[in-house]
Structures are given as structure tokens and as C-alpha cells.
Amino acid sequence: MKNVHSPKSIFLFMLTIIMIWPSGISAQERFRRLPPPPKPLPFLRLADMESYTLANGLKITVMQKQALPLITVKLFIRSGENASPPDKEGLATLTARMLGKSIQSFSSADADEIMDSIGGRITIDVETDYSVFTFSSLQDHLESLLTMLNSMILDPVFSQKDLESIKRTLFYELLRRRKDPQVVGARILKRVIYEGHPFSRAAFNEQSIRSIEKKDVLQFFKENYISNSAQIIIIGDISISEATRRFSRSLNKWQPGPIKDIDPPQPSPLVHSKVCFVDFPDMKDAVIQVGNIIGPIENEDLYSLLVFNRVFGETPSSRLLMSLRESKGYAYFAFSSLDYYPRFAFFSLWAQVRSEVVFPSILYIKDELERTIKKRIPSEEVEQAKSSLIGNYALNMEHPAELASKIMEIQLYGYSRHWDAFYRNIMQVQPRSIFDLLRTSNFLTPAIVVIGDKDLLLDILIKEFNEVNIFDGSGTFQYSIKKSDDIE
């Protein structure tokens, strides 16, 4: 039967639609403005950490993960580039790389073949204040990992041939980095921020390693690679008793020694902005790097800084990128980072922008920092950042190497980074705690490093700033130009 609607029914239907339409739109708009509530926190159960210290002072820490087919072993040495002598910057890196190449028992080619045959991997990282050797393989091949570790520490061979080979490789590696404006900017930023401080040695360049000799490597190894200044962290299906038994069979021969006082004094933040420039001829865009020291801080302050960094610039949805790229159209990318140490932190940010908007970008970055410091971050942003940090923390703990790194942070810095403590401390962060911490910082007097074409940028920088410090691509200071000076 054909369905026929009368004119009256059609009129009433349209009238009803008209009456409810505005409220429908209003409801939709409210829905779009309100972000969805965060999902429930992921359930994370981590095994307890157990530790045992051998008679020679070597500390072994185990987190047993049953049924895990992989095993990860991290050898942590509490000496990084900060332990290199002032006139031998890069010595810590050269020494660590020598250990990965020169072994008494077998050649480096044999070592690579052994690791390949067991599906294993060795990585070496030398940071500002520590060095770490990471060994990983299937659980069944733990004995092969132990053999490799023992040989590196107890039977190293520091041959002149290997030293020259590693110096040559590192020299050209550092030379290639001079072509990366972001790497160059980060190196100069650290040199300026840490000027006169041992942490500045981590920004060494290709010229620094030229004078390092075999005797320097031997002396550094003797003074810093001692058992009572080291720690082994193990993640895998192994108990503390078995790990202690297997690792102590040979590593108890590792000799202790006097521990050097390498904990440097806390660096002082800049109280006056310092503008630096590096010429990259024919570079169409520009890279801006900004940073300063935050400190002194207490352990609990770290969590407020982590939340602030997540709000300000750590992710693509943070304020920095949304402002510089989405709102202004200045930047291709813009992010911030936070490096933390006992008693202080190093906050930095970097952005790649169009050359013609370098100065407006710098002003906007400083304005955004000032707004964050002088006005409390809204509770909604803080809560979203906290939820993001907690969720990512849980995801990162799924990888054994990352989990071992977190344990290392606990041991090195004394921060409570275990899951329960991390969750509790992050949840306690409030807009007021961030505001109180930041308003006493030196965010508004940072070091500013600009990398780009001199012909496009230098005149502008000289016009807008009282003084510009010129550096070369290796991070070496060349000269300063003031407003009154002529620009060649």
C-alpha cells in the first residue's frame, strides 16, 4: 500500500525539526570542545629488584621476568665524558670503543661472528656522566654473553693499531656531524651552558681527539674501570642467586680501586641571554636552539618538570609546535627536551623555521616561555600531560633494555622511577607546583643558538641583539660582533 503523508503531518514534522535543531548543534559543539576523559591507567606489574654486592664491590641487580626468552645485561660504569681530562676531551668515548674492539681472547671479527651466531648484540654508549655496555641475546646463550663481558673487562688489548683505527673512524664520524645543523647547534648550546664545567667535555669535536695517546687510554681505564665503581643490571628469567653465582665466577677477579670524586659542582644557569650564530652557507631555512639550566632542584621537583615539558614541547600536540607551526606557520618542527641529573636539570628546545621569520620565532618562543612561567598552566592541560606520561611509561617498560635503563636511573640518580613511585609522584603534580618551580627559574635568560646562512640572517641578528657570538661548525668560538661593529 502506498504511504501518503498529509500536508498537516509534514508541517508538524518540519516544525519539530526546527525546534530541536539549535539544541542539537549546541550539544554537538559542547561535545567537540570537551576532550574525552583519559582511559583507565594500564595495569602494570613489575617484578621486584634484587641486588647483591660481590666482595670486590661490584653490585649486581636483577629483575627476574619469568618465561622471557631474552636476556639483557647492562654493565654500567660511573664515568662518562665528564671524567675525561680538560685537554683530552673524548677520551672516555675512545676508551669505551677500544673495549668493544680489542680483546685478548679473540679478534673483533671473531667477537662479531660469535654475537651473530647467537643472535646477540652489543651496544656501547658514553654519556655525559656515565658509560654503559648493553649485551642482549636469547636466554640460552647467556654463557656466551658472559664470556664476551669477562673478556672485555679482564682481558682488553689496547693496541696502537686499534687506537689509530678507532680515532680515524671517530674523527670522520664527528666531521660528518658538522653537516647536521641540529647536531652542531646542540653541541654549541652545551658548550655555552656548561662553559668551564666538566659537562662541557661531552660536546667534544674532531680536533679534541687528535692528541689522545695509548698511555691516556690505559690510564683512563685503570682509574675508571674498577669493580667498586661499576654495576651490572640483568633483565631476564634468572634469579639473583643464579646471577650472582654465574657472574661472580670470573668477575670476582675484577679489581677494585680508589673511586674518583667525579661528581661535579652544580652548574650555574645563565642570568643574561647569550646569542650565538653558526654560518651554514646556502641553507634556506634556519635552526634555532634555546636552553638553560634549571636548579637547584629536589627529587620531587623532577616530576613537575616532566609534566611541564610534556605540556610545553615534548610531543606534536604540545604548545610549542601547535603555536609555531599550526598557529603562526613559522616552523616545520619544534620540540623541547629535558635532561635531568642530581640537583639540576637541563631544559632545551629546538625548531626549524623559515629564514625570514627567525627573529619573530625567537620572540614567540620567549613569549611562550614567559606565558608559561607567569600564568599557571590550566588543570586540563596538566591532567592530559600526566595521563600521557603514565601511559607511555608503562609502554616503555615492555622492552627489557628500556626497563634496565630505568633501573640504572634509580641507582645513579636516586630518583623514584619504579612504577608505583612514578605513578604516585606524577599524580601529585598540580598547576601550582609547576608554577612555583618555574617562576624561580632562569627560563627568560637562555642561551640562543641560530644556525643558517650568514647572508640571510646575520644582519638581522646584529640589529635585534646587542651582541652575537660567532662559532664554527666544530663548536669552537671564533669572535663576537656588537651592534656598533661593522659586519664583513
| pLDDT tens-place string over residues 43-57 | 566 677 889 999 999
Mean pLDDT for the chain?
Answer: 85
Most confident of 260-274, 398-412, 463-477: 463-477
Domain 49-251 has CATH 3.90.79.10: no
Mean pLDDT (whole number) for 405-423: 71
> Is the per-residue pLDDT at 25 higher than 60?
no
Peptide bond into 296 cis (omega under 30): yes
Domain range summary for the chain, segments of one domain joined by +:
49-251, 274-482
Classify residue 470 by its DSSP letter: E
Query: What pTM, to 2 d.p., does this model score?
Result: 0.84
Q: How far apart are CA 178 and CA 171, in angstroms?
A: 11
How would you classify the pairing of strands 467-471 and 274-279?
parallel
> Residue 260's pLDDT is what?
77
Q: How far apart are CA 423 and CA 311, in angstroms?
A: 17
> Is the per-residue pLDDT at 97 higher than 50?
yes
- CATH number of the structural domain 274-482: 3.30.830.10
Mean pLDDT (whole number) for 77-97: 94
Q: Are 253 and 154 in contact (CB under 8 A)?
A: yes
Classify residue 293 by its DSSP letter: E
Angle at 322 between CA 321 and CA 328, to 5 degrees: 95
> Residue 394's pLDDT is what?
76
> Residue 342's pLDDT is what?
82
**Lowest-confidence range among 138-142, 245-249, 354-358, 396-400?**
396-400
> Residue 450's pLDDT is what?
97
**Lowest-confidence range among 10-14, 282-286, 318-322, 331-335?**
10-14
> Is the per-residue pLDDT at 337 higher than 60?
yes
- Over residues 148-207, the pLDDT tens digits come to 888 889 888 888 988 999 999 999 999 999 999 999 999 999 999 999 999 999 999 988
Judge residue 129's burial from the number of C-beta atoms within 10 Å of its C-beta, 0-12 exposed, 13-18 middle, 19 or more buried: buried
Q: Are 348 and 336 in contact (CB under 8 A)?
A: yes
Q: Are 354 and 285 in contact (CB under 8 A)?
A: yes
**257, amino acid identity:** G
- Model confidence at 16, pLDDT cuts 50, 70, 90, reads low
